[in-house]
Structure 1
Amino acid sequence: MRLPNTAFTERPWRIHEFIGDFEVEDVWDLDTPGGPDDLALLVRQFDGDGSDFTPSPMYKLLFAIRWRLGALLGWDKEKHGVGPRDPSLRDRLPDDLLGGPRGPDLKTVPMKSVFQTSDEWVTEVVNKTVHAAMHIGWVDDGNGRHHAQMAVLVRKKGLLGKVYMPAILPFRRIFVTPSLVRAIGRSWHTSTSR
């Protein structure tokens, strides 16, 4: 379920300290009920080879189109990634986060882990259109239970990013992210029921 952006912006996440030039694109509730220390279990779920990740056919189609476009137009070339013009968010981290756990890089999409704490995990991707971050926050339900929320943060790059990102937003909100959210929930329930 999509949440108001305030579900992210009004929480005292550490990421707020160094991501002021990014916009909150969306915030989503994840069906990942657990205990206070279970974020690490969720993060490990992302560390697999993707074989248990079962998104919808529309999700797969839209990503196939995006990767094909990126290859044809050179959007994902190394020169558009992390580098002097677009430094990693890791370069912004305070010493305590920089010296702490990083978390896994994703294998199914080109996202690199930035940092991990007991209640936050952040990954990033940089290409010709955007510098984006995925923030997974572990939130207290107020009844001794916890679950995750996912925020998508973006810094659009150039004219291409300012045109491309709003153009794909409806597809992301209708097809891509809901499918991702459901797949994360299914994987969580499968892994925690064993």
Structure 2
Amino acid sequence: MRLPKTAHASLPWRIHELAGDFSIEDVWSFRTPGAGPDDFPAMLAAMRTFGGIAGQTGPVRFLFALRWKLGALFGWDDPSAGVGARVASLRDRLPADIRDAPRGPDDDRMPLKAVYELDMEAARELANKTVHTVMHLGWVKGAGRDHELRMTVLVKPNGWFGRLYMAAIAPFRYLIVYPALTRQWERAWRDRDRAGAGYEEGTS
């Protein structure tokens, strides 16, 4: 479910210290029935096990494949445009208490690379010739007794082309990608008992 930007901005997340020059693009909530305050690591484990692109619907896989092909054709994803090249990583801004914490696993299946991972929130980033973006995941008490996952997309477009790019992909995000992601991540929570081994492996 899409939420107003204040649903992210009003909470005391640590990401606010790091990404003050980024804009809030999207805030989305995911239902996790029965979740308690200590279940954020279990949700991340489930997402790593069941939440990848390979498990998405055909239309979503097609959109991502098309995006990567366009990126290769026009050079949008050249290493010179990435984190540590065109832009500095948000990890360079981390205060000492977060810098020393585990950041979460990275591998080639994860285009967004870990910035930090805490008990109640985590952040990953990606940069190319269009945008520097951060995916922030937070664990929040919902309207009832359960906690829920919230995803916020923070962006810093790369000039006019980046702003045009973000505007062009907005309909695809809202009509195809986010609804499919919601179904996949909520199903991952329901299937989380099968994710335990993946979590232990990923955090070792």
Q: Offset of 1:187 from its aligned partner?
A: 1.3
Higher helix share: 2
Give runs of aligned pairs for residues 100-119 of structure 1, distance below 5 A. Answer: 100-105=101-106, 107-119=108-120
> Which residue is equivalent to 2:32?
32
SS, match of residue 67 in structure 2 = helix
> Which residue is equivalent to 2:151?
150
SS, match of residue 55 in structure 2 = coil
What is the CA deviation profile of residues 36-79 of structure 1, one whole-angstrom value per residue up to 9, with x for unaligned ones?
11111122234348679532221111111101100111111110
- Asked if structure 2 preserves the Cα contact closer than 8 Å seen for 1:139 and 1:149, the reply is yes
Give runs of aligned pairs for residues 97-176 of structure 1, distance below 5 A. Answer: 97-105=98-106, 107-141=108-142, 144-176=145-177
TM-score when normalising by structure 1? 0.91
Alignment RMSD (CA, Å): 2.1
Partner Cα separation in structure 2 for residue 147 and residue 46 of structure 1: 14
> Which residue is equivalent to 2:84?
83
- Asked if structure 2 preserves the Cα contact closer than 8 Å seen for 1:49 and 1:107, the reply is no
Structure 1 unmatched runs, 5+: none
Runs (4+) off by over 6 Å: none
State the percentage of identical aligned residues.
Answer: 46
- Asked if structure 1 preserves the Cα contact closer than 8 Å seen for 2:139 and 2:148, the reply is yes
For the pair 1:96 / 2:111, whether they are aligned, the reply is no
Which has the higher mean CA deviation after the structures are superposed, 14-23 or 158-167? 158-167
Partner Cα separation in structure 2 for residue 8 and residue 165 of structure 1: 20
TM-score when normalising by structure 2? 0.87
- Asked if structure 2 preserves the Cα contact closer than 8 Å seen for 1:105 and 1:123, the reply is no
> Which residue is equivalent to 2:201?
none
Structure 2 unmatched runs, 5+: 196-204
> Which residue is equivalent to 1:55?
56
> Which residue is equivalent to 1:10?
10
State how many pairs are aligned: 194
For the pair 1:187 / 2:180, whether they are aligned, the reply is no
Q: Offset of 1:95 from its aligned partner?
A: 0.8
SS, match of residue 3 in structure 1 = coil
